[in-house]
């Protein structure tokens, strides 16, 4: 008998019928002798409906009051799922984040979990109850309702699994696992049986949006076994996210090809090559609340260098405006920039111990005539910025070059 935390997203609980499907799946796990905590999101569309309603009153809704409203989405789902579980003959009991209590800081709309009081849940589980918990929400130390931000239900699931020392946290979604790349672009993409946390972090942040990145970090920090599964299929083991150091299995060299078309690149030309210059450029951008992703600076000559970085496309114009006085102040030569770019990344822990991955990637792109505009590498990934129009082509040829279409 094991304690398992399952999390079902908005699509999986999008209608009463689907909620009854979830109840039947939970009942099957329960019948095998497991204790179950089920975390649910709002029914699909509900969160957006509530936000739209708020925006009819305030264009920028008050964050505290927005959380009061938006948290009702999950509260409706927990009631419905508890009813559906009772209907299939199980004992069940629902809890809002505040009822659990899932204590967070007071950063409304993007709160962070500080601690979880698991006593009540434990008592219910020992009593044979399936416990249903509202994802995405908590309560601060003053009793104010908070939400964790979009996708926060994954984080709730992982945090509960950590607090209850669950055997596994299962994330049910509309895909049946993590793929070597987007199957809509490469039909030969394969589901990975396992992926390491580090790879998953790179895949998630690079645009394979299967799991919310914060939940993966959380799972890594508390060593929670995380599994991604489809809520629309009855069979299949999904993808298990492992701790590289824990699992003694043969890793593929490369796990997948990720890509992202949400960024814009900015290059400042002829930057004086002296200490503190990077901070002079990026400081004002951070102050303007813009997150910078890739940063590339090459060695300079003649005391000058070019400094490049990428930001989210939504922040592109704001960033350019912020930089105008900076460029004058540091007496740089000028700015070139563009938002028709894509970032394509080759991800895999195996590249730590295998040479030649970078050169294979660069050669593969060169053979297709794809120009590489920026390169950035970490221990387990190589990212390149290319012209947006070559995205699909680049993903396809890299997927093939690293034999990702072959079963490992």
Per CB under 8 A, 76 contacts its own copies:
yes
Pairing of strands 3-8, 168-173: parallel
By CB under 8 A, how many residues form the interface with its own copies?
A: 37
Identify which range of 76-84, 197-205, 247-255, 258-266 contacts its own copies by CB under 8 A. 76-84
Is the distance from CB of 222 to CB of 243 less than 8 angstroms?
A: no
Q: Which of 13, 39, 54, 161 binds its own copies (CB under 8 A)?
A: 54
Pairing of strands 226-230, 239-242: antiparallel
Q: How far is the CB of 129 from its own copies (least distance, A)?
A: 12
Per CB under 8 A, 56 contacts its own copies:
yes
Q: Which of 6, 47, 94, 260 binds its own copies (CB under 8 A)?
A: 94
Q: How far is the CB of 76 from its own copies (least distance, A)?
A: 5
Per CB under 8 A, 51 contacts its own copies:
no
Per CB under 8 A, 78 contacts its own copies:
yes
Residues linked to residue 257 through DSSP beta bridges, in sequence order: 346
Per CB under 8 A, 265 contacts its own copies:
no
Per CB under 8 A, 84 contacts its own copies:
yes
CA distance 146 to 285: 28
**E strand or H helix at 94, and its extent?**
strand 92-95
Per CB under 8 A, 72 contacts its own copies:
yes
Q: What part of residues 181-220 is at the interface with its own copies (CB under 8 A)?
A: none
Q: How far is the CB of 100 from its own copies (least distance, A)?
A: 10
Q: Which of 98, 219, 228, 271 binds its own copies (CB under 8 A)?
A: 98
Using the minimum distance from each CB to its own copies, give the nearer residue, 3 or 80.
Answer: 80
Per CB under 8 A, 75 contacts its own copies:
yes
Q: Which of 27, 29, 79, 326 binds its own copies (CB under 8 A)?
A: 79
Per CB under 8 A, 4 contacts its own copies:
no
**Nearest alpha carbon to residue 2 among 144, 164, 137, 163:** 164
Residues linked to residue 103 through DSSP beta bridges, in sequence order: 115, 139
**E strand or H helix at 156, and its extent?**
helix 152-163
Is the distance from CB of 102 to CB of 159 less than 8 angstroms?
A: yes
CA distance 191 to 346: 16
Q: What is the 3-state secondary structure (H, E, C) of 263-292?
A: EEEEEEEEEECCCCHHHHHHHHHHHCCCCE
CA distance 142 to 343: 43
Using the minimum distance from each CB to its own copies, give the nearer residue, 61 or 220.
Answer: 61
Cβ neighbors of 365 (< 8 A, separation 6 or more) are: 372, 384, 386, 394, 397, 398
Q: Which residues contact its own copies (rule: CB under 8 A)?
A: 16, 19-20, 50, 53-54, 56-58, 61-62, 64-69, 71-72, 75-76, 78-80, 82-84, 86-87, 93-94, 96, 98-99, 143-145
């Amino acid at each position: 008998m094991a304690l398992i935390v399952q999390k079902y997203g908005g699509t999986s609980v999008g209608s009463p019928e689907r909620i009854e499907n979830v109840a039947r799946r939970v009942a099957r796990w329960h019948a095998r002798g497991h204790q179950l905590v089920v975390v649910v999101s709002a029914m699909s569309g509900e969160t957006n409906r509530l936000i739209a309603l708020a925006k009819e009153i305030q264009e920028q809704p008050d964050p505290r009051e927005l959380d009061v409203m938006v948290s009702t989405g999950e509260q409706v789902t927990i009631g419905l799922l508890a009813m559906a579980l009772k209907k299939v003959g199980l004992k069940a009991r629902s809890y809002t984040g505040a009822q659990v209590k899932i204590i967070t800081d007071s950063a409304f709309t993007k709160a962070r979990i500080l601690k979880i009081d698991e006593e009540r849940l434990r008592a219910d589980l020992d009593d044979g109850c399936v416990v249903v918990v509202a994802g995405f929400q908590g309560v601060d130390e003053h009793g104010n309702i908070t939400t964790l931000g979009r996708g926060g239900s994954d984080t709730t699931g992982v945090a509960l699994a950590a607090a209850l020392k669950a055997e596994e946290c299962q994330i049910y979604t509309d895909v049946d696992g993590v793929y070597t790349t987007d199957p809509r672009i490469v039909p030969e993409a394969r589901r990975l049986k396992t992926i390491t946390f580090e790879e998953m972090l790179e895949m998630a942040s690079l645009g394979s949006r299967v799991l919310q990145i914060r939940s993966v970090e959380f799972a890594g920090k508390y060593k929670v076994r995380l599994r991604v599964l489809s809520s629309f299929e009855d069979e299949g083991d999904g993808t298990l996210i492992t701790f590289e150091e824990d699992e003694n299995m043969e890793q593929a060299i490369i796990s997948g090809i990720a890509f992202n078309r949400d960024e814009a690149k900015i290059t400042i030309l002829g930057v004086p090559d002296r200490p503190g210059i990077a901070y002079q450029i990026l400081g004002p951008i951070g102050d303007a609340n813009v997150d910078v992703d890739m940063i590339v600076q090459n060695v300079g000559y003649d005391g000058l260098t070019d400094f490049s970085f990428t930001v989210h496309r939504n922040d592109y114009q704001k960033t350019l405006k912020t930089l105008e006085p900076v460029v004058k102040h540091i007496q740089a030569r000028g700015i070139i920039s563009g938002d028709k770019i894509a970032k394509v990344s080759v991800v895999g822990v195996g590249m730590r111990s295998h040479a030649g991955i970078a050169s294979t990637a660069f050669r593969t792109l060169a053979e297709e005539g794809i120009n590489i505009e920026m390169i950035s590498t970490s221990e387990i990934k190589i990212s390149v910025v290319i012209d947006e129009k070559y995205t699909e082509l680049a993903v396809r040829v890299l997927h093939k070059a690293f034999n990702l279409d072959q079963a490992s």
